[in-house]
Copies of this chain bind each other. A is one copy, B any other.
Amino acid sequence: MLERYAVYRQAVDEVLTNLSLLQSGSGELVTCASGTTPLEGEVPEPLKSAMVYSLLLPGKRIRPVLLLASYALLREDWQEALPFAAAVEMIHTYSLIHDDLPAMDDDDYRRGKPANHRVFGENIAILAGDGLLNMAYETMLSAPVCVKKPVQALAAIKVIAEKAGVRGMIAGQTLDVKLEGSMPQGELVAYIHRHKTADLITAPVLAGLLLADARDQQLRCGQRYGESLGLAFQMVDDLLDLTGDAQAMGKHTGMDAVRGKMTWPAVVGIEQTRRDAELAVRDAVEALECFGSSGEFLQVLAQETLVRVK
């Protein structure tokens, strides 16, 4: 189990480290501080460094792993899906950079390191976020699978665009920032969790399945798995913010309460949140039964979510 996660994760990290867009052709850092004109066809500094900085911060790579593992439910050649896996990580990373900005959550730390804008300035952090979102699409559109299977590729890109978009992740972010300090309400917290977090868990599952030519019924199973896992994920995150250790988390803890964020523990309490997360994981595991024994890896992966709060 852990071995397979490590294999996927290493493959993702290799792709992210070697992205041709973020390589300097000459190996030299082209800085514009010196007044040198950037080379055509390369990403200019300091934009490139800012994008690389956040993209390569140590992370679990859970979203890209989900995409590869979902593809692997139906097909062996999961390497075909790697550009899409990398793209989902880019979208996740852009959302974190923009979330951390002073006008948003105003976070100074992320994954144990200074937030992007603390290193590169707010203007470059805004552009680096924009750049990563756009590069996610560039990366998917340049994938070999777009030539081999254009219809499946279009379907996968579309589901990612929908889940990352203004009825998906960005809808959740909107409520998250607008409702700071409001009285926590179950329905609103559920809405925020469903979109801010679960949509970007469901997206890679569905994209992996679509690339692998899944049938409608399989897509429905994947949808249910992603939604439930996503909810569990956010509940665990909320619990860790309340009870976790700042060092282990790589960011300040207790910030949700300070900011008056809508969280699940704020509505139903810590114990009930733990129970609800367990229920959500159970539902995710059940959803995958339609894939038989090949679903086992993703089932174990869902169960692992709870380990950090047990």
The total of chain A residues at the interface (CB under 8 A) is 63
Check if A165 is an interface residue, CB within 8 A of chain B: yes
CB neighbours (8 Å) of A46 from chain B are 174, 178
Per-residue interface assignment for chain A, residues 159 to 201, with 1 indicating a CB less than 8 Å from any chain B CB and 0 otherwise? 0011011110011011101110011010110010000000000
Residues on B with beta carbons closer than 8 Å to the beta carbon of A154: 141, 146, 150, 153-154
Over the window 116-156 of chain A, the binary record of Cβ atoms lying under 8 Å from chain B Cβ atoms (1 yes, 0 no) is 00000111101101110111011001100010001101100
Instruction: Give chain B residues whose Cβ lies under 8 Å from the Cβ of A21.
Output: 166-167
Q: Tell me the interface secondary structure of chain A in the complex.
A: helix
- Report whether A158 and B138 are in contact in the complex, using a CB–CB cutoff of 8 Å: yes
Q: Is A231 an interface residue (CB 8 A)?
A: no
Which of A34-42, A70-78, A237-245, A291-299 makes up part of the contact surface?
A: A34-42
Return chain B residues, CB-CB under 8 Å to A174: 32, 44, 46-47, 124, 127
Given the complex of chains A and B, what is the CA–CA distance between A48 and B124 in angstroms?
A: 26
> Given known contacts A32-B178, A154-B153, is B131 in contact with A104 (CB within 8 Å)?
no
* Contact among B37, B129, B153, B166 with A135 in the assembled complex (CB-CB below 8 Å): B166
A98 within 8 A of B: yes
A221 within 8 A of B: no
The 3 closest A-B pairs by CB, nearest first: A103-B122, A141-B158, A131-B166
